[in-house]
Amino acid sequence: MALAGIHLEGPFINPAASGVHRRADLRPPVRGELTRLHDAARGALRVVTLAPELPGGLAAVEHLTGLGVTVSVGHSTADFAQAAAAFDAGARRVTHCFNALPPVRGREPGAVLAALLDDRVGIEVIADGRHLAAPVLDLVHRVAGPARVIAVSDGSDVAGLPDGPARRWEGTEVVLSAEGISTPDGGLAGGAHALDRAVATLCAAGVPLPDALAAASSAPAHHHGLHTKGRLEPGCDADVVVLTPALRVAATIAAGRYIHGGP
């Protein structure tokens, strides 16, 4: 299957919302470095997650948007006004909404509410039953609607390895289990499940099946500008995932050919 593109999540994120990213590697965005990364990717860089409140953050949003890269607000302590300014500057996504972002408070709505209330913004959710509670997934769907909810796996380089201790590529120690990927002290350290799990989790949260399927297909394709992906229509690519009634993968078709399952 063809690589649709690269999502660069870090290093231009806030150390105060770093999650399992090593703080020593994090830094504010600088125009020259962004340009070099874009050029080195040779057109493959599609999404960059950054914290707009960092020095140079809004300028980075404008620069990346001008290069045709989608900017996603994430791993950020941005308040409502800072996030709204980033969306006005061109940011069009929020990375794994609610996770590594300030909580929503009555007098401090923060980046989450700024994203949910902006119809231009795609809302990523890690719908694995662990990162977000079912009522939160239901709320996001009700507010954002099927065209804006984007299911993501948040998988890392250790996803798919056997259960037990492991090290991520940069040396961070994690533990894999049936529940997901954790830090040794039990904190969240990324997702471990594919998007069939996301569809099932969204449905269990009360999201209608067509909308849950859209979150894993047409919505992300639209927000990535992939006009021949995510839809079963003439002229679109014949990339299809066949699910069982229990919403587990039964077969996968890429470019019209079975690569998993099949007759």
**Six token digits for residue 251:** 């077969």
> CA 131, 210, 218: angle at the middle one, nearest 5?
80
| 167 membership: H or E segment, kind and range | strand 164-167
Q: Are 93 and 71 in contact (CB under 8 A)?
A: yes
DSSP 191: B
Q: Are 143 and 169 in contact (CB under 8 A)?
A: no
The CA-atom distances, in angstroms, between 237 and each of 4, 217, 225 are 13, 12, 14
Residue type, 30: V
**Is 185 one of the catalytic residues?**
no
> CA 64, 81, 189: angle at the middle one, nearest 5?
65
- Catalytic member of 154, 163, 185, 239: 154
Residue type, 179: E
Distance CA 5, CA 48 (A): 11
Catalytic sites, residue numbers = 154
